Structure 1
């Protein structure tokens, strides 16, 4: 059934592939080489996250150290179909896109949960059957004989106990609810009686108050008429008082306005007098000519003259002409000396090439004294050239200096003739005259503006006088209305006092009427609420009575179900044991190594399971068998359980079944595994010893 498994970064395996075949598949290698990891990889491939949670691990435990992702591929054959299960995973779980199951090349499921469901559906193997029957982990071979509840767990008979416990808890909850509902029903019944008493009392009290309300009904109309008259007179009185207050305020405002108008009139008359004086003064103001232009022109000249540099004032244009003349003479003298210098240099050069004291050009004799004289003259001329060149440079600098001064002199030439002392004196006189003219013009402008206001002030005086006359007229009107209001207030006040006295008398009776009317409304509302609450309580009582009946029925039904479950569990165990024993005898007879062992049987004695072997001398219970015989019986029971529950054991995996056994018992386990292939087509077994090599059909050495 299991054909091949491919691993990538799974525990100790980086990249590996292992092939399996029918018969015994022996995985051989030292401890820590990854034998158990192959079986774990098959488990992970089949059940994914369910297996990881079942063994209490996490995905990171299956990942090779340093790797970020791993992958398991399991190839199987089942009922003529080729099945491939792939699960790609990381530290936090499988990758949906890399987890799938295919049959004959067609993908039928994707994702962790869907692939696991497809495995269970197609192979007919659940995780509990796989873990307890098909995958026997190290040290768990004889667990089926040692733990009393182990077989019940495989047969799912423990589910009856779980269901019974659930029913017991449910019945306890129902009893508690029955007690709560019964207590609430009693409380509501007491409340119903109290509400009935309260409703009758409210009806009696309401009848008394309605009778009293009828007796006080006539007072209401009289009170309302007296109230209307009283309020009307009070409103009239308040209106007159407010009007009087407003007129008094208006009178004060008019009086204040009259005072302000008289003050304004007095100020305007003073302003007219001031305007007349200004008119006279305006006529006597002097006329001063245009000194402004002359003042600013002179101030400009003085400003420029004061800025003339001292060197411009002391400069004489003759100096520039003299410097230029001297430069010209020195330049001419330098040219002459240079001409003579070139001539002497040629002479000296020719004399240096002369042979035998004869000139090389004309053939004339050259005396040493003449040559020496020319050399001395050459040296003197060179010194003269140097002196003249320095003089020319000096004179050129002097000319440039005088040219700069001359340019400055020409710029200020027209201002050098000004007498600053006389000019400043004249400027002071013009400034004083200009200041007087400015002050006079300012005064003239002010007086002119003042005189121009004369007509406007006269108009304002007329307006103020008109306002005074109008205010006096309105003051008389207000005074007249105040006198009239005082008379009306006295008349209304007398009528108001009479109406108020009657209103207060009737108010006491009316308040009693209103209080009674409000109490009647309140009692009606209370009666309505009490009647409504009473009906609600009655409805709730009926509802609770029905709920109590339902709870009583549910409790009776729950008790019956528990009793039935207690009867079904032993019956189910007997049926399952008969089916298991049929398979057990078949398997046991295939695997037995003693002819004296006639049959094997699994029975229940005093609440525990006992496996026993039939011999000619009687039954032998499993705890009296040797270790090898116990292993035989344990394997037979597991295969029988698989055949009874799954229809057969398609494969079986044993992890280190010979661990901690001596040589004789290891040999018997090897023989047992070999014989097991007669009832189980594919067996995978691991060991760090080589005892299975002789019986193995496929050997995988790590």
Structure 2
């Protein structure tokens, strides 16, 4: 896996930043607090989201004072390209993820949780594994050494996927215990079923069933006999009921005839009464027609004479139609007048509103002109202030440039001069490092020689002193050591002098930067001054326009008020015409009402004549109807006399006796049958219960066979789970031992490669991941007993060995992420920094595609294939990135 590019917006101390990374060693360089580590945290956050924040929250990610944050990461992995985009936004006092997308070979994945899960699958490590293997964060360089053996074991097991084997072993154990619990339940169920089957077999269920079926057949025979006797009794009962029903029908028909005879008599009487009432109604309607004739004569005298004394209905309708037409014309005229009044009133109201709006516009224009006048006064003061600021900036620029009057370089050459001095200091540091190493080697040789001499041996060859001519070699080594110490002192003096020159050069470089910043500020002030002057001219022009507009608004308002007065006079004249029209329409309505009453009277008199004729026809119909009813009444009286003669009382009495006897016998037989059927039903129920018990017995036997088969399967499954549990445990132990042996070998190779102190012989790593360092004399040491620099270098070697082990373990199927070191030199002196450079070089030679180091150490800067400088603007407190060229004499490229 290789990081290709990272883009930030409002991420912590970065406003906008965009950085591309290549293969090889990239050093992110800058002073403390400039934002170097934040760049790595952004990469970590892009991959794992909130899981990369430790105890912090999303609120801490967004730049102070901003509401949104964006992080984009492009990376290549296993031959495919990927891009992650995360966006955050403040909602109230909390930050929330508004977008999280991973685009790659498998398509697009959305959602913070799904993206984090997919990244962990791609890299085969979650956030914790990432910082335990590939990402050495600032302040955590000694994390693995300070961890307990158990914690160290968990970290490395998780990285190597061995934790999954323990999970599988525990799952197998849980499964075994679960199967054992179920097996106990099944065994108990077998015993319970065997007990139930034994109890049911002891009841002789088949013998009981045979006895009950014999009794059932006997009861069914008795029931059949009594049902035959009951059917004979029912036949006798039906014959008697037929005679009685006929008798009842005859009597009912006689009663019906009597009722119908009475009803006919009543109808005849009622119809004669209705004929008399109709005669009275005829007389009343004739009187009403005379009254209407009198009313018609009076109304004719009140209407137009042109209708005549006896107008017909058509003449009245024509006159009504003529008056309606005139009323329709007047109504249209009235509507036109009302519309004219409404329109003029609307225009009056509109003109008044427009006049009021124009007055308001004039007032607003004058107010805005007054505001612009006040702004022009303030603009004049601003222009004076900016002109003074411009003069001050010119003075500051001249003062800053004057620092180069007596400087060893001209203005604009300070950066090159500083680079030259820093290169010179690097070369001096190399010489000083070599001398220091020689001094240490000479000191060790003298100490070893003195020890041999104390034992009576030659300090050079180890032979007895009496037989050796080289006893004076220690004096030569002491002289050599003294010369080396003098050379070291001389180099340190040169270094101190050079540091002072570098400090002065840095001050000159800062002066150049200050001039650049002042020049930028001057240009900004000049631009603002020009813009302000242009704004003043525009405001003066707008002020004059507003004043002219106010006068125009006032003239238009006065014109509209004059138009309102004219329209009000026209409305008064139109209202008079409205009154005349309403008066004529009222007279027309009164005449029309009189004419319509004349038409109503004519219609009512015609209706009365028709009703009189109808009543006379009804009286004739009613007379005919009563004649027919009298004929029906005679026929029904004759039928009644015939039925009364057919009635036989003795036959009816015999039928009643047969009915009573049959009903009595049937009642007794029903009771006997009910008792027999109850007894048969009871036997049938007992048969059903015995059959159910027999069926239960068969089901119990079948269930027992199934449970016994299940018991055998569970016993086999228990043995398999037990074997699987042991297999996972043995496999984890075997794999851990292999990893321990490989990790121990890689750790010794890495430590021996970068650590050239002959004091240590080897490193031991036991099966529980306990670390022991052995000195040359065989004395064991705990890693915590090493010096701070040695302990830090030892821990970095352990991290790199774990990285190598993980890379070799996946056999190329999951390329490793970049090796990221954040401020690894915190606990290292200059000598150990040189060894750290060797460690980085060795990891690159072993095939690590990308290494990213964050440091402010100058020696690591020289080890870079690519250099990224981070600076923080003191004014805005925002960090910015600048890609630089690594020094030509890079330590990593030397043999």
Task: Report if TM-score (shorter chain) is over 0.5.
Answer: yes
Cα distance in 1, alignment partners of residues 635 and 4 from structure 2: 128
TM-fit CA distance, 1:583: 1.0
Which residue of structure 1 lines up, in the alignment, with residue 659 of structure 2? Answer: 496
Matched, 1:471 2:471: no
Change (3 A) 1:528 1:480: farther
Cα distance in 2, alignment partners of residues 269 and 495 from structure 1: 57
Identify the match of residue 684 of structure 1 among 838, 852, 871: 852
Change (3 A) 1:495 1:135: same
Q: Deviations over 1:190-245 (max 9, x none)?
A: 33334443734741551452353265255244344235325524753674476367
Matched, 1:618 2:779: yes
Q: Deviations over 1:39-69 (max 9, x none)?
A: 1232345x355x7479587777655564556
Which residue of structure 1 lines up, in the alignment, with residue 805 of structure 2? Answer: 644
Cα distance in 2, alignment partners of residues 301 and 144 from structure 1: 127
Cα distance in 2, alignment partners of residues 612 and 13 from structure 1: 43
- Which moved further from structure 2: 532-541 or 616-625? 616-625
Cα distance in 2, alignment partners of residues 250 and 172 from structure 1: 95
- SS in structure 2 opposite 1:188? helix
Cα distance in 1, alignment partners of residues 6 and 250 from structure 2: 115
- SS in structure 2 opposite 1:236? helix
Identify the match of residue 789 of structure 2 among 621, 628, 638: 628
Q: Deviations over 1:545-588 (max 9, x none)?
A: 11111112222232333334444433322211111112111101
Q: Deviations over 1:97-155 (max 9, x none)?
A: x6424xxxxx6754369988997788777766533111012332222222323234323
Identify the match of residue 228 of structure 2 among 192, 215, 222: 222
Which residue of structure 2 lines up, in the alignment, with residue 574 of structure 1? Answer: 737
Q: 1:693·1:699 contact (CA, 8 Å) conserved in 2?
A: no
- SS in structure 1 opposite 2:141? coil
Q: 1:597·1:614 contact (CA, 8 Å) conserved in 2?
A: yes
Cα distance in 2, alignment partners of residues 178 and 94 from structure 1: 52
- Which moved further from structure 2: 449-458 or 466-475? 449-458
Q: 1:75·1:84 contact (CA, 8 Å) conserved in 2?
A: yes
Q: 1:9·1:15 contact (CA, 8 Å) conserved in 2?
A: yes
Q: 2:744·2:765 contact (CA, 8 Å) conserved in 1?
A: yes
Change (3 A) 1:497 1:151: same
Q: What TM-score do the two structures reach when normalised by structure 2?
A: 0.52
Change (3 A) 1:641 1:501: same
Which residue of structure 2 lines up, in the alignment, with residue 34 of structure 1? Answer: 35
Cα distance in 1, alignment partners of residues 612 and 746 from structure 2: 143
Identify the match of residue 555 of structure 1 among 702, 718, 731: 718
Q: 1:255·1:475 contact (CA, 8 Å) conserved in 2?
A: no
Change (3 A) 1:164 1:668: farther
Q: 2:8·2:14 contact (CA, 8 Å) conserved in 1?
A: yes
Any residues of structure 2 matched to 1:324-339 within 5 Å, and which? none
Change (3 A) 1:166 1:245: farther
Identify the match of residue 188 of structure 2 among 173, 183, 195: 183
Which residue of structure 1 lines up, in the alignment, with residue 73 of structure 2? Answer: 73
Which residue of structure 2 lines up, in the alignment, with residue 462 of structure 1? Answer: 627
Cα distance in 2, alignment partners of residues 513 and 454 from structure 1: 75
- SS in structure 2 opposite 1:586? helix
Which residue of structure 2 lines up, in the alignment, with residue 14 of structure 1? Answer: 15
Consecutive unaligned residues of structure 1, counting only runs of 5 or more, are: 102-106, 303-440
Cα distance in 2, alignment partners of residues 93 and 443 from structure 1: 94
Any residues of structure 2 matched to 1:285-684 within 5 Å, and which? 455-480=620-645, 483-484=647-648, 488-604=651-767, 607=768, 609-647=770-808, 651-657=818-824, 665=828, 667=830, 670-681=833-844, 682-684=850-852
Cα distance in 2, alignment partners of residues 201 and 265 from structure 1: 89
Q: 1:265·1:465 contact (CA, 8 Å) conserved in 2?
A: no
- SS in structure 2 opposite 1:494? helix
Q: 1:138·1:656 contact (CA, 8 Å) conserved in 2?
A: yes
Change (3 A) 1:12 1:533: farther
- SS in structure 2 opposite 1:678? helix
Which residue of structure 2 lines up, in the alignment, with residue 165 of structure 1? Answer: 170
Which residue of structure 1 lines up, in the alignment, with residue 109 of structure 2? Answer: 111
Q: 1:658·1:687 contact (CA, 8 Å) conserved in 2?
A: yes
Change (3 A) 1:153 1:242: farther
Cα distance in 2, alignment partners of residues 4 and 580 from structure 1: 33
Matched, 1:89 2:254: no
Change (3 A) 1:471 1:37: farther
- SS in structure 1 opposite 2:770? strand
Q: Deviations over 1:280-334 (max 9, x none)?
A: xx9xxxx9xx9999877767799xxxxxxxxxxxxxxxxxxxxxxxxxxxxxxxx
Which residue of structure 2 lines up, in the alignment, with residue 132 of structure 1? Answer: 132
Q: Deviations over 1:70-93 (max 9, x none)?
A: 2423356x89x7x75322222365
Q: 1:48·1:87 contact (CA, 8 Å) conserved in 2?
A: no
TM-fit CA distance, 1:179: 2.4
TM-fit CA distance, 1:166: 1.8
Change (3 A) 1:254 1:123: closer
Change (3 A) 1:2 1:499: closer
Consecutive unaligned residues of structure 2, counting only runs of 5 or more, are: 89-95, 306-605, 809-814, 845-849, 872-895
Q: 1:613·1:622 contact (CA, 8 Å) conserved in 2?
A: no
Q: 1:6·1:18 contact (CA, 8 Å) conserved in 2?
A: yes
Q: How many residue pairs are counted as aligned between the two chains?
A: 536
Q: What TM-score do the two structures reach when normalised by structure 1?
A: 0.64
Cα distance in 2, alignment partners of residues 252 and 480 from structure 1: 15
Change (3 A) 1:561 1:111: closer
Q: 1:27·1:687 contact (CA, 8 Å) conserved in 2?
A: yes
- SS in structure 1 opposite 2:219? helix
Matched, 1:232 2:259: no
Q: 2:11·2:61 contact (CA, 8 Å) conserved in 1?
A: yes
- SS in structure 2 opposite 1:216? helix
Cα distance in 1, alignment partners of residues 785 and 608 from structure 2: 148
Cα distance in 2, alignment partners of residues 238 and 87 from structure 1: 105
TM-fit CA distance, 1:8: 3.6
Identify the match of residue 153 of structure 2 among 140, 151, 154: 151
TM-fit CA distance, 1:622: 1.8
Change (3 A) 1:535 1:292: closer
TM-fit CA distance, 1:458: 3.9
Which residue of structure 1 lines up, in the alignment, with residue 870 of structure 2? Answer: 701
Which residue of structure 1 lines up, in the alignment, with residue 219 of structure 2? Answer: 213
Cα distance in 2, alignment partners of residues 8 and 443 from structure 1: 102
Q: 1:261·1:467 contact (CA, 8 Å) conserved in 2?
A: no
Cα distance in 2, alignment partners of residues 496 and 70 from structure 1: 107
- Which moved further from structure 2: 559-568 or 629-638? 559-568
Q: 1:5·1:18 contact (CA, 8 Å) conserved in 2?
A: yes
Q: Deviations over 1:141-188 (max 9, x none)?
A: 222222323234323443343333222222221122122222333333
Q: 1:210·1:520 contact (CA, 8 Å) conserved in 2?
A: yes
Q: 2:763·2:773 contact (CA, 8 Å) conserved in 1?
A: yes
- Which moved further from structure 2: 666-675 or 621-630? 666-675
Q: 2:772·2:780 contact (CA, 8 Å) conserved in 1?
A: no
RMSD after superposition: 4.6
Q: Deviations over 1:619-667 (max 9, x none)?
A: 32323322322222221121111112213977422234455x5xxx454
Q: 2:45·2:53 contact (CA, 8 Å) conserved in 1?
A: no
- Larger gyration radius, structure 1 or structure 2: 1
Change (3 A) 1:471 1:560: same
Cα distance in 1, alignment partners of residues 122 and 272 from structure 2: 123
- SS in structure 2 opposite 1:679? helix
